[in-house]
Structure 1
Amino acid sequence: VHSDKPLVRKLMNAGDEFEAMTLVNKSKRVCTGGTVKCVIEYVFDGSRFRCLVTDPELESQGLIYGSFTLILAGVSCPRVGNPRLNPPTPSEPFAEAARDFVELRLLQRELEVTLHGCDKSGVCLVGTVHHPRGNISAEILKNGFGRISDWTVRMMSPGEVPPLRIAENAAKRATLGVFESYKPPVLTGASEFMGTVIEVTSGDTLMILPNGETYDAESKLKKISLASLRAPRAGNERTGKPDEPFSAECKERLRAMTIGKSVKVNVNYEREIPMGPNATEKRQFGTISTKQKADIGEVLISEGLATTQRHRDDDEKSARYDELVAAESVATAAKKGVHSTSEYKKKTVNDLTDPKKAKTYAGTLQRAGNTKAIVDYVFNGSRFKLFIPSENCYVAFALSNVRCPQPSPSAGAASRGKAKPAEPFGDASKCHSRLNVLQRQVEIVCTGVTLGGVMTGDLYVGQGAQRRDYCIELVASGLATVDQRKIDYGEAPKVLIDSQTAAQENKLGIWSIAQVKKDEPAAAKVFDKGDSKIAEIQISEIRSGNHFFFRVNGDESAKVIDDSMKIFTDTNGTNAAPCEVKVGKVVAALFDDGASNSWYRAKVLEKTDKGKVRVLFIDHGNEAVVSPASHLRPLDMSLGTDQIPAVAKDGKLVFSKVRPIEEDDGIDAARMFQGMAWGKDLKARLHGEAEGQVLVTLYEADTDSPSINEKLVSEGLARIGKRYEVYDIVNRMGNSDSLGKLAKDLEAAQNSARKSRKGMWVYGEIPEEDED
């Protein structure tokens, strides 16, 4: 006070008179050791203080006596309440104790402070206070007066973090302060185990088979996600959600590092993961290591393919969380991957699972010979979705010459009602393929393509001396059978037949149980034991290239019911009347035959969701969807089917199989059938009834001429059934000579169509998976 030039302090507030980040940058460049001298003027709570800059080195920068709020780096303490508010806010537990602890050691002291950065507001600074007796942050954590703050600890150098982790863990074990009710995470399984990676489902989640477990069901696999790591999310085509940048690259890198390899898993915590409306899944999160990589997650983060998860302060984290954060800092500084400032360009992959695209591209793959591929998905033991890197495309691929049993349906197929029943050893076959080829690099040789766009050929697993034919492996293990057609035609490789014979002799897999023919049909009604019945008929409805309804010429029932329904129409008019609409019930339904509306007998097949019903006109074979209020009325009891049986018979061309009507070949078959049969008097050999259908051979002229069945097969628009199916029908229909001769004629016609590449044979053989 006696100085000629008295000391006058000009106080400045951060955010008003100077920018907070300016102080951070100046302290690192100007101050000795990168620390700035400050006086702790006020303590808000255990981790927030009011500081005044007193460092003379900053006087030349105009920042001396700058006042700012300091957030203690790495620590978050309970907040002290404010009694001046209305209503007053109470203090959080241990807030007062934490503030007293800090005031006793820091208040009104001039200390060195390392500034790391600012908060989101850009006003409060984040820094570390260096006390002469040690690190105040570690002392706060050691006594349980605070928790580690994830967002501030990221600003610190990696070497400063381990002491804080050690201090917090010590407080947790002793249940001190804010950890008084802390309990270690409870795990439903072992905290550490070894296993083999079966599948990589996303950039941070894997399916692992623990050592000692036999993979015979999906329940044996453990789903593990990488702890404290967030990978870019894959999109959803059905909802239109796109992939996040680098999602495919992250998943591929994880696949390359882990698939098929033995890994060690340290489980750190578990979480309930939402899996849809009112559904959750308990997921384990852990650290995964291989022989070459100590932490798979750290590799992904260091390459910029993933980021560390931002946890709440009280969340459980990875045991190597600080290493993950350090790796992310390095990747961020290097602008790798997701941290890059350049625009991300997604790699476009051609999807050749579409039948039209597959057929167009099939020739290229067949000419390519041996081709490297990666198995992207396993549908069953012998059918896969492949990614071919050299062609940058996805293809559906089926092993030629073999067939695997049908596995259990997926949850999605079951919910849509499209599930096929599982066959014995279907799941075992699929598990074998998932275990040995899923997401592995394989080698394929394409030999053909089906009408459904499925590439067919051979697949080889392994390299060098370990390279093996996967078809032989499946057959030798009893998990697949050789296509009987290929054996009958002499096209199956001898090594496959020998492998199947050995599996049969050793009763392996499929051969360990009695072999039964699938879909065993009901007993057939035979017209004549000696031979079939010849009749003259007219087609009344065509459903497909081999399915139709017909009337027998001269049938008295047809004349009776036609006349009776005309009288019914004249008597009742065309007005509907209330009637019981029940599935299976026969009623009168109104139909416009082109001349006028008339009543016909109809059976109710189903009720639609729009209040209408679908009916079958039992005397003609056609179907219609009608409104009960305007198109139905009760039928007289004298006109019921118990009095006059249905006139239209449900017929099927015996031994013939055609494509569905939705496909081009199916439409062509139906059109050819219509051109030969519609509106004509035909000769029909009625062999018998099976599953409610009359099995028929149709002739345009006399029965010695080529049949319509044979003409369709010769044009490649129909094919003969499997040999055991043909033999079964022949045996059940009384071993008639006409059926035996027809079977030989159809087989000769089919061989001719196959050699000429007609109709469905234009792309070569039809794999068994594509036949149905």
Structure 2
Amino acid sequence: MRCVSAPPRLPPSVSGPPATETDLAASMSPGPAARANLAGGREMGGSGGRGREYGTIYLGDTNIAYLVVANGFAKVKEQGRRKGDNNPYTTELLRLEEKAKDQGLGCWSKASTRILPASTNPSEVKGFFAKMKGKTLEAIVEQVRDGSTIRVYLLPSFHFVQVYIAGVQAPSMGRRAFIPSMASQAGATGDVDVNSQQQQLKYLWQQNRSSYHHHLVLILKFHQIGSVRIILRGTDSFDNMFASVYYCDGNTDKDLALELIENGFAKHMEWSANMLGTETKQKLKNADIQAKKEHLRIWTGFRPPATNTRPIHNHKFTGKVIEVVNGYCVIVAGDVGPCGSPLAERRVHVSMEYSRRINIANGQVVTDKTNQVGTRVLDYGSVFLPSLVDGTGSPSPNSSSNPLGANVAVLLLSRGFADITRHRDYEERSHHYDALLGAYSRAEKAKKGYHSKKDYPVIHMNDLTTVPGKKAREFFHLLQRNKKHSAVVDYIFSGHRFKLTIPHETSTIAFSFSCVRCPGKNEPYSDDAISLMRRRILQRDVEIEIEAVDKNGTFLGSLWESKTNMASVLLQVGLARLSSFGLDRNPYAQNLIEAEKTAKQNKLKVLENYNELEVIPQGSMTEQNGKEIFKVIVTEVLGGGKFYAHIVGDHRVDNIQQQLASLKFNEISETSKDTSDTLENQDQTINTQTDTLEVKVKPHNHVVHPLPVRWSSLFKDHLNTMKGEVQSAEEPSTSKVKDPSNDIPFNPTKGDVVLAQFSLDHSWNRAMIVSEHQGPTEREFEVFYIDYGNQEIVTYIHLRPAPAKFSISVIPPLAKLCSLAFVVVPDIMDDLGEKAAGYLRMLLLDNEGEFKATVEERGSVGAKLEGQGTGEVLIVSMYDEDAESSISAAMLEVWHSHFSH
């Protein structure tokens, strides 16, 4: 202002004699007072010699220079006192100055009311902050350095400090002059002019400080000053203080940080916002996102980077948690999908949190879900657990405050089992993010879970699934001390075999249902059986009763979930078959038999082709003294007193051969062969007659097991019958078994059930792959004929894939493995083993007769059928009714006569 000179502001680091309050008021008050009166005023005047503009400022009809000098806040300049000065206001200014001197106002005061600090800057920032943290401090804004940094006087301590607004950062003020023409040009082109935003930002600050109140200690009651409230929040490594700044707008207190972000003058700063409360921090974050969407000021032309996340709106489904993969991922079986089917399962990642520990969940869920066809995506959603009534497990009506129930993510965070996912600013986040932040903050303050510094005890489990079977069997007697054990299902290998953890015994075991078998891998309904068990018992508390242990260390017994025998559930829905092995020792055998009977009557799933006449031949099986008795025909003799036999009257053998005879087997083309068959002779051809089942086979270099006389005679009748049927059925409607390798390469592996061509009579039969190796010209496979009991090596071209109706889950192996009871016959590799096998072959095969077999006991060789001599074995007493002699007695007689010589 022209002709007026105000005293300099007291430097923050000044030292010397103590200053008085009046002196401080005289040095500082003109600043805010003048700025207050300038708001809305007008300016008149000219330019000075150093590029400064001088003039007279009016507020309404009041001359600001008169007002400042009259209160002693400024002096009249010396040049204004010189004669010849043509300033029309000089006379009045001199008069007002003399009046202020006489009254001792402002800088003309000679009184001292109290002693002020020698330095107005805090000597030790950290100590000052520790003393003032969290307190609401009145302050006068002395300078706006930039949109997010101010310098204030704190009252009543009169400390002069520089404060950074927590949670925001505004562009710094540049040194370039503001040119309106450039701003209008930038607005036309769409470019962002930083200086333009800085000028608007400074104007916003002036507007925010337009609310004043009377302060009786420092200034006269008719002066209005700009005041704010400051709450110190924290400091950084450079001792810069961060605070929340509030101003009064009428009767409302407003947060300057929020106002700056909402108007697009500043951006959100995550690291300094962490000094604020959870609710305040979220408000700043939401305001920043909204300003970006509206492209306000500094966000003009803003384009968020590409992201692989997208929002999902109102897409919910209900279901049951069947597996907790980890602390932030669950697999949910939807209520809409088919019950017990793998198609109903969905993998959902809990939104906005990740866990360091696994937490088992149980109950219904409601979760967001997205579908993308042909793309592998991660589905993030909010999972809710309805409240339960009195712990009974039945859902209760949810409260109006939380209609969906308890948020699982909030439960994990509140117990310190999870952490918040740090998404980027432009990425979508959970609709319940505020609740998640609150739960995380409470757990952190309470030092729960991993926030605690305590060392939690490590539980050591004895894993019996990884040790040899012999060592696992040593624990059998320990587990039998208690009749029943509480356990948790960790994993499901198949519909009837699981991995269980027994907490009380700190052990993990492999467990299988006793007397119950589900379809094996890649067999029909195998996935359905696994899915049903996953939905019912996976990662849930169960009760088990152990009855036995096999040689592989798998414990056999019964399992209950909520007092329901799960073996009965499988049998009742047709996803399992009842095995006779050990059934007489099973205390729950009657319940299992009734459950399977229900499935047989309804012909469910694996029992859909069940025919009682085929399974139980009429007149072939009787029972005496609780023992099964039936007539058999022996098909193959092994060493050690073991042999394979057919039950007389079992028509399934004939039915299978008739079905195979009605099929025409095409030659495997070169394109359909497995790519690993590289040594095959390309010039070699195979001539197959399409009108019969006779196939010309190239000679084999390997040795084929000899075909017993009786076994060969059985095939003659079948082969002649099949030839006649095929010759009489020469019509286009005859179905062909086309190798699926025309579309998908046929690559049989160990354990697969295929159709193999027997080398002696060229008939096709069901067989299991036992092993494979590379032959002289092509791949060779050792196969076990599951319906007759013999085993041989065939080449790749003599194999075909077996239709599903011929799988062992639909029709089990028809050759029964038997062993002589009450005698010990030397094994084939032992001394006299070959002679014993030869003599037994003579007794059972050469006379081509039927024998009466009495089942004395049931056992097993190995855990499952893997080839010749494995699987379930019947311990039988064989009796030749024609010769009226016992086979076991005949073996003993020859044995004793041999040693007597």
CA spacing shift, 1:294–1:499, aligned 2, 3 Å: closer
Specify which of 154, 166, 177 is matched with residue 55 of structure 1.
154
The separation in 1 between residues aligned to 2:592 and 2:457, in whole angstroms, is 46
Aligned to 2:698: none
Specify which of 132, 146, 156 is matched with residue 27 of structure 1.
132
What is the CA distance between 1:405 and its match in structure 2?
A: 1.0
What is the CA distance between 1:189 and its match in structure 2?
A: 8.1
What is the CA distance between 1:426 and its match in structure 2?
A: 1.1
Aligned to 2:231: 114
What is the CA distance between 1:461 and its match in structure 2?
A: 1.2
1:141 matched to 2:261: yes
Aligned to 1:313: 425
Aligned partners of 1:683 and 1:698 also within 8 Å: no
- 1:373-392 equivalences in 2 (<5 Å): 373-392=487-506
Partner secondary structure for residue 428 of structure 2: coil
CA offset digits 1:568-615 (Å, max 9, x no partner): xxxxxxxxxxxxx97478xxxxxxxxxxxxxxx999xxxxxxxxxxxx
Aligned to 1:457: 557
Aligned to 2:366: 264
What is the CA distance between 1:359 and its match in structure 2?
A: 1.8
- The one-letter code matched in structure 2 to 1:72 is A
Aligned to 1:555: none
Larger Rg: 2
CA offset digits 1:659-712 (Å, max 9, x no partner): xxxxxxxxxx9x96544269xx857649xxxxxxxxx9599xxx99xxxxxxxx
The alignment-based identity, stated in percent, is 22
The separation in 2 between residues aligned to 1:194 and 1:12, in whole angstroms, is 64
Aligned partners of 2:146 and 2:202 also within 8 Å: no
- 1:119-138 equivalences in 2 (<5 Å): 119=236, 121-133=237-249, 134-138=254-258
Aligned partners of 1:81 and 1:92 also within 8 Å: no
The count of residues paired between Structure 1 and Structure 2 equals 537
CA offset digits 1:48-92 (Å, max 9, x no partner): 42x335214446xxxx23445x1432x455x569899xxxxx999
Aligned to 1:613: none
What is the CA distance between 1:335 and its match in structure 2?
A: 1.4
CA spacing shift, 1:4–1:507, aligned 2, 3 Å: closer
Aligned to 1:291: 387
The separation in 2 between residues aligned to 1:382 and 1:431, in whole angstroms, is 12
- 1:487-526 equivalences in 2 (<5 Å): 493-513=589-609
What is the CA distance between 1:402 and its match in structure 2?
A: 0.5
1:304 matched to 2:416: yes
The separation in 2 between residues aligned to 1:169 and 1:456, in whole angstroms, is 60
The separation in 2 between residues aligned to 1:176 and 1:209, in whole angstroms, is 45
Aligned to 1:197: 321
CA spacing shift, 1:72–1:193, aligned 2, 3 Å: same
The separation in 2 between residues aligned to 1:447 and 1:697, in whole angstroms, is 37
- The one-letter code matched in structure 2 to 1:325 is L
Aligned to 2:201: 102
CA spacing shift, 1:721–1:317, aligned 2, 3 Å: closer
Aligned to 2:160: 65
1:398 matched to 2:512: yes
Aligned to 1:229: 353
Aligned to 1:485: 581
The separation in 2 between residues aligned to 1:513 and 1:189, in whole angstroms, is 47
Could you tell which deviates more after superposition, 318-327 or 425-434? 318-327
CA spacing shift, 1:431–1:98, aligned 2, 3 Å: farther
The separation in 1 between residues aligned to 2:235 and 2:886, in whole angstroms, is 86
| Cα RMSD (Å) | 5.7
What is the CA distance between 1:424 and its match in structure 2?
A: 1.4
- The one-letter code matched in structure 1 to 2:232 is L
The separation in 2 between residues aligned to 1:444 and 1:350, in whole angstroms, is 18
The separation in 2 between residues aligned to 1:383 and 1:304, in whole angstroms, is 35
What is the CA distance between 1:511 and its match in structure 2?
A: 1.5
What is the CA distance between 1:27 and its match in structure 2?
A: 1.6
CA offset digits 1:704-746 (Å, max 9, x no partner): 9xxxxxxxx99x9968998x999x99xxxxx9989x9999759
Task: With a CA cutoff of 8 Å and minimum separation of 6, indicate the structure with the bigger relative contact order.
Answer: 1
The separation in 2 between residues aligned to 1:513 and 1:327, in whole angstroms, is 57
Partner secondary structure for residue 398 of structure 1: strand
- The one-letter code matched in structure 2 to 1:468 is T
The separation in 2 between residues aligned to 1:218 and 1:102, in whole angstroms, is 59
What is the CA distance between 1:400 and its match in structure 2?
A: 0.7
CA offset digits 1:435-468 (Å, max 9, x no partner): 1111111111111112222111111111xxxx22
CA spacing shift, 1:100–1:482, aligned 2, 3 Å: farther
What is the CA distance between 1:135 and its match in structure 2?
A: 1.9
The separation in 1 between residues aligned to 2:586 and 2:459, in whole angstroms, is 45
Aligned partners of 1:655 and 1:720 also within 8 Å: no
Partner secondary structure for residue 547 of structure 2: strand
1:211 matched to 2:354: no
Aligned to 1:689: none
Partner secondary structure for residue 455 of structure 2: coil
Could you tell which deviates more after superposition, 281-290 or 172-181? 172-181
Aligned partners of 1:355 and 1:454 also within 8 Å: no
- The one-letter code matched in structure 1 to 2:235 is C
What is the CA distance between 1:492 and its match in structure 2?
A: 7.4
1:431 matched to 2:536: no
1:39 matched to 2:134: no
The separation in 2 between residues aligned to 1:343 and 1:532, in whole angstroms, is 66
- The one-letter code matched in structure 2 to 1:212 is V
What is the CA distance between 1:504 and its match in structure 2?
A: 0.5
The separation in 1 between residues aligned to 2:271 and 2:884, in whole angstroms, is 84
Partner secondary structure for residue 54 of structure 1: strand
What is the CA distance between 1:481 and its match in structure 2?
A: 0.9
Aligned to 1:342: 454
Partner secondary structure for residue 405 of structure 1: coil
Partner secondary structure for residue 676 of structure 1: coil
Aligned partners of 1:461 and 1:469 also within 8 Å: yes
- The one-letter code matched in structure 2 to 1:304 is G
Partner secondary structure for residue 485 of structure 1: coil
1:352 matched to 2:468: no
What is the CA distance between 1:531 and its match in structure 2?
A: 9.9
The separation in 2 between residues aligned to 1:310 and 1:209, in whole angstroms, is 29
CA spacing shift, 1:741–1:280, aligned 2, 3 Å: farther
Aligned to 2:852: none
What is the CA distance between 1:43 and its match in structure 2?
A: 4.2
Aligned to 2:443: 331
Aligned partners of 2:354 and 2:421 also within 8 Å: yes
CA spacing shift, 1:96–1:327, aligned 2, 3 Å: farther
Partner secondary structure for residue 603 of structure 2: coil
The separation in 2 between residues aligned to 1:698 and 1:344, in whole angstroms, is 70
The separation in 2 between residues aligned to 1:741 and 1:394, in whole angstroms, is 53
Aligned to 1:610: none
The separation in 1 between residues aligned to 2:635 and 2:506, in whole angstroms, is 57
Partner secondary structure for residue 347 of structure 2: strand
Aligned to 1:693: none
CA spacing shift, 1:266–1:153, aligned 2, 3 Å: farther
The separation in 2 between residues aligned to 1:200 and 1:506, in whole angstroms, is 35
The separation in 2 between residues aligned to 1:495 and 1:744, in whole angstroms, is 37
The separation in 2 between residues aligned to 1:157 and 1:312, in whole angstroms, is 20
Aligned partners of 2:342 and 2:528 also within 8 Å: no
Aligned partners of 1:355 and 1:452 also within 8 Å: no
The separation in 2 between residues aligned to 1:187 and 1:698, in whole angstroms, is 78
CA spacing shift, 1:154–1:697, aligned 2, 3 Å: farther
Q: Which runs of 5+ in 2 are unaligned?
A: 1-6, 9-16, 28-116, 177-185, 210-225, 389-404, 615-632, 644-676, 682-700, 704-770, 778-790, 794-814, 848-855, 873-877, 893-901
CA spacing shift, 1:382–1:193, aligned 2, 3 Å: same
